[in-house]
């Protein structure tokens, strides 16, 4: 099938679906200027995650974590939603077909774009929490301490250690979010997998649940994934290019 035919097929599948759930990964955000952490030049090629992003390492050497996180946050805060994110807003607000987005990304670009039901499996860099007293903060408030030269931000209330609400290596996924993701997938008649190589577990186990419940599957990813052969259609390309083309086809069907 040519890419054009695949895009037409994807549009007609979307047209005949009523409860669409999206599962997104790093490839969703690369066009917004956030490189895949696992890619060459990505965050993990510069900072060994075992040393900088492991929960136990965070507790013993929070200054290392914050060196890495400061750089990551700057990239995230400077990024803005791309045409792929915006297309998903259209699918939710205009077509009223998209019911939930399950994401592995911590960049909160889906909610910044305007989607309302975003399930962040790996947490979000938008907020942070004191590990001692549990007070929640906006990251931008914490950042002030870093800008003032503090190596490790401390809770203004109790001087406790503050951790951004992102899931570190060695931490389990937030179970309530994971349960909600499972519930959304079991309601879905179509799952669109975008920008995920489907290699990071347990998040990557969710798409195979959609197969079990009989949902149709569309994959949009730069490279082949291990689920391509099980998808109704797998399109290789960038989300910010492919999604607007699918929407254009969808408009043709409707008119
Ligand atoms: Zn505190």
For position 41, what pLDDT does the model report? 82
What's the CA-to-centroid distance between 146 and ligand 1, angstroms?
17
pLDDT tens digits, one per residue of 211-220: 999 999 999 9
Please tell me the distance from the alpha carbon of residue 65 to that of residue 52, in angstroms, as a whole number: 5
Pairing label, strands 162-166, 136-138: unpaired
For position 178, what pLDDT does the model report? 94
Does 16 have pLDDT greater than 80?
yes
Domain boundaries, the chain: 1-33+81-122+172-255, 35-78+128-166
Would residue 61 show up in a list of annotated catalytic residues for this protein?
no
For position 39, what pLDDT does the model report? 86
Rounded (10°) angle between helices 205-212 and 175-187: 30
The mean pLDDT of the chain is 94
pLDDT band at 40 (very low <50, low <70, confident <90, very high): confident
* Of 69, 85, 110, 122, catalytic: 122
Say yes or no: do domains 1-33+81-122+172-255 and 35-78+128-166 share a fold: no
CATH class of 1-33+81-122+172-255: alpha beta
What's the CA-to-centroid distance between 136 and ligand 1, angstroms?
9
pLDDT band at 197 (very low <50, low <70, confident <90, very high): confident
What's the CA-to-centroid distance between 37 and ligand 1, angstroms?
30
CATH class of 35-78+128-166: alpha beta
Using CA atoms, how far residue 79 sits from 35, 68, 74, 89, in Å, is 11, 17, 9, 17
- What average pLDDT does the segment 58-71 reach? 94
Please tell me the distance from the alpha carbon of residue 45 to that of residue 111, in angstroms, as a whole number: 28
What's the CA-to-centroid distance between 152 and ligand 1, angstroms?
14
- Asked if the peptide bond before residue 202 counts as cis, ω within 30 degrees of 0, the response is yes
């Amino acid at each position: 099938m040519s890419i054009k035919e695949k895009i037409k097929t994807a549009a007609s599948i979307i047209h005949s679906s009523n409860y669409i759930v999206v599962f997104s990964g790093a490839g969703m955000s690369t066009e917004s200027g956030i490189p895949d952490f696992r890619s060459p030049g990505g965050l993990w090629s510069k900072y060994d995650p075992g040393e900088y992003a492991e929960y136990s390492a965070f507790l013993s050497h929070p200054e290392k974590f914050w060196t890495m996180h400061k750089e990551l946050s700057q990239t995230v805060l400077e990024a803005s939603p791309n045409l792929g994110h915006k297309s998903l807003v259209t699918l939710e607000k205009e077509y009223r077909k998209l019911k939930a987005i399950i994401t592995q990304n911590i960049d909160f670009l889906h909610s910044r774009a305007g989607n309302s039901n975003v399930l962040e499996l790996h947490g979000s860099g938008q907020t942070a929490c004191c590990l001692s007293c549990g007070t929640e903060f906006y990251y931008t408030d914490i950042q002030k301490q870093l800008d003032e030269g503090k190596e490790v931000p401390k809770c203004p209330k109790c001087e406790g250690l503050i951790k951004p609400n992102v899931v570190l290596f060695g931490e389990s996924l937030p179970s309530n979010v994971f349960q909600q993701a499972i519930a959304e997938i079991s309601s879905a008649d179509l799952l669109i997998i975008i920008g995920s190589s489907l290699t990071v577990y347990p998040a990557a186990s969710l798409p195979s649940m959609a197969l079990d419940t009989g949902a149709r599957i569309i994959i949009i990813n730069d490279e082949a994934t291990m689920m391509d052969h099980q998808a109704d259609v797998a399109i290789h390309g960038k989300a910010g290019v492919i999604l607007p083309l699918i929407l254009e086809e969808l408009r043709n069907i409707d008119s």
